Amino acid sequence: MRLLVSNGTVVTAAGPVRADIACADGRVAALVEPAAPTQADEVLDASGCLVFPGFIDPHVHSRDPGATDKEDFGHSTMGALAGGITTVLEMPNAIPPVTDAAMFRERARHHERSAWVDFGLWGLSLGRSNIDELEGLFAEGAVAVKLFWGYALDRDTKQLIYNTAGHPPERLLAPPETGDVWDVCREVARVGGLLGAHCEDRHVLDAAQRATGAVETYAELMASRPDTAEAAAIALATELSRSTGCRFHVVHMSSARGAELVRSAQAAGVALTAETCPHYLLLTDASFDLLGPLMKVYPPVRAEADRQALWAAVLDDTISSLGSDHAPHTVADRQGPLGAQPAGMIGVETLVPLLLDEVTHGRLPVTRLTQILAERTARLYGLYPRKGALLPGSDADMTVVDPDASWTIDNEALHAKQPLSPWHGWRVRGMPVASVLRGRVVMRDREPVGERRGRLVRARHQAPATGPETATTR
């Protein structure tokens, strides 16, 4: 099967270039001069369009298996496909969570039955209790291991407990102590993996919540989860990473203080990286009047100064990867007082359109979009150059974009099982109009084409860095 993607402008990580892309057997064969004679079984005409390496959303919670009233993998990956994503990296906190190699294999088989796009899998760190499983998880191809730092877990389901007061104490698994996290860092460094963590310091949150009391307004929500909690966790992560050589990734970073600390850690040579999400780049506390609890996330969306600092960090490469943090809830979950509602919004289908709009309005260079949604993300998670690039031999994954199409995001047109998006009614310019997955056209005009054909993609992380303490002493 030979596919030719013709007449488009290919946006590589180095910049835009006019070229046709010849694909054979699911891989990129060559970038060729436009209109050069090329044999093909099928031609995808990309005239007037931008052709990107298939975009990756590294931060998706599909709730599957487990809370499938909220979402499932078929719905989340169809949304990804419609929204111009060709690979999702699935978070490990379904029920049961991905805590060892056997569960990794089972989850991969489970998801291959319903995947519309390719997927990688995160593993879950439970602190010391599954530290011996991390090597096996990375050997299977886990893209990273996730630490929900500071969260207690349910002893049986290993689900996060947001409110320990309402949970039977005998079923609480206490959050890992700093020393346990240090051990996890040392082990991840030893096996050459990547640790990704939710960074909000538990003790700072506890103090802030004592001071705030019941949360009813957005100001109280912000006060109960201050940027000091994020900054304190990142400062500690910096030291743990520095001392172990562990590659440490701060997911969904939300604050100016966080960005400042990551920037200085990187300048000092620490292997710290960071992600942020569209809601932190496009919303502020002032958005709450319009959106209400639909924009409740942890860490919270903060002030205008934070939003601006995060943009600066995206543009100067302090933040090297963007994800949606697709975390669906039901209509029923969205009732009651703000403090009691769960945190999380959907986003896998709107990640690319929202960022394309930033490109068309000149706030985000088009080459930077390729870097943060493809090349840099693929490198970080051990998928490069199979994913994230259009080099000869790369998987022939492409997102084809009409940069001039203006349209309005409509929740009724989204593919999520619970299409409660805060972006309903947003006018955007730039639309993913076609996608190619391993050499096949799989999406046109934001709807799937043909059979679902998503598969597991295994990470191959590079050999461990020789940090000061990578020889384990646990």
Q: Interface with Zn ion by CB under 5 A: which residues?
A: 325
**Least distance to Zn ion from the beta carbon of 112, Å?**
22
Nearest to Zn ion by Cβ — which residue? 325
Tell me the HSE value of 33 on the side-chain side, using a 13 A CA sphere. 3
Q: Which is nearer to Zn ion, 306 or 325 (CB)?
A: 325
Q: Which is nearer to Zn ion, 345 or 436 (CB)?
A: 345
**Least distance to Zn ion from the beta carbon of 327, Å?**
5
Which residues make Cβ contacts (< 8 Å) with residue 168, sequence separation at least 6? none
Q: Which is nearer to Zn ion, 8 or 328 (CB)?
A: 328
Which residues make Cβ contacts (< 8 Å) with residue 221, sequence separation at least 6? 215, 296, 300, 338, 339
**Least distance to Zn ion from the beta carbon of 144, Å?**
12
Q: How far apart are CA 137 and CA 196, in angstroms?
A: 14
Q: Which is nearer to Zn ion, 183 or 349 (CB)?
A: 349
- For the beta carbon of residue 203, count every other beta carbon within 10 angstroms: 10
**Least distance to Zn ion from the beta carbon of 386, Å?**
24
Strand residues in 302-438 grouped as ranges (E): 321-322, 398-408, 427-437
Q: How far apart are CA 99 and CA 156, in angstroms?
A: 13
Whether 39 and 2 have beta carbons less than 8 Å apart is answered as yes
Structure tokens at 415: 């593919």
Q: Which is nearer to Zn ion, 277 or 436 (CB)?
A: 277
Strand partners, 145: 123, 195
Instruction: Give the pairing of strands 172-173 and 152-154.
Output: antiparallel
Q: Which is nearer to Zn ion, 255 or 435 (CB)?
A: 255
Place of tokens 């709450």: 288
**Least distance to Zn ion from the beta carbon of 104, Å?**
19
- For the beta carbon of residue 289, count every other beta carbon within 10 angstroms: 8
Q: Which is nearer to Zn ion, 270 or 274 (CB)?
A: 274
> Three-state SS for 246?
coil
**Least distance to Zn ion from the beta carbon of 67, Å?**
14
Q: Which is nearer to Zn ion, 72 or 325 (CB)?
A: 325
Q: Could you please report the per-residue DSSP string of 278-307?
A: HHHHH--GGGHHHHGGGG--SSPP--HHHH
**Least distance to Zn ion from the beta carbon of 256, Å?**
21
Q: Which is nearer to Zn ion, 233 or 443 (CB)?
A: 233
**Least distance to Zn ion from the beta carbon of 61, Å?**
6
**Least distance to Zn ion from the beta carbon of 400, Å?**
28
CA dihedral 162, 163, 166, 168 (to 10 degrees): 60
Pick the closest to residue 421 from 474, 350, 338, 322 (CA basis).
350
Q: How far apart are CA 326 and CA 461, in angstroms?
A: 25
Whether 456 and 120 have beta carbons less than 8 Å apart is answered as yes
Q: Could you please report the per-residue DSSP string of 127-179?
A: GGGGGGGHHHHHHHT-S-EEE-TT-EEETTT--EES-GGGS-GGGEEPPPPHH
Q: Which is nearer to Zn ion, 107 or 386 (CB)?
A: 107
Structure tokens at 118: 């390719």
**Least distance to Zn ion from the beta carbon of 209, Å?**
20
**Least distance to Zn ion from the beta carbon of 442, Å?**
26
Q: How far apart are CA 348 and CA 79, in angstroms?
A: 6
Q: Which is nearer to Zn ion, 138 or 298 (CB)?
A: 298
Whether 418 and 331 have beta carbons less than 8 Å apart is answered as yes
Q: Which is nearer to Zn ion, 348 or 434 (CB)?
A: 348
Q: How far apart are CA 466 and CA 237, in angstroms?
A: 19
> Which run of H or E residues covers position 261?
helix 256-267
**Least distance to Zn ion from the beta carbon of 19, Å?**
36
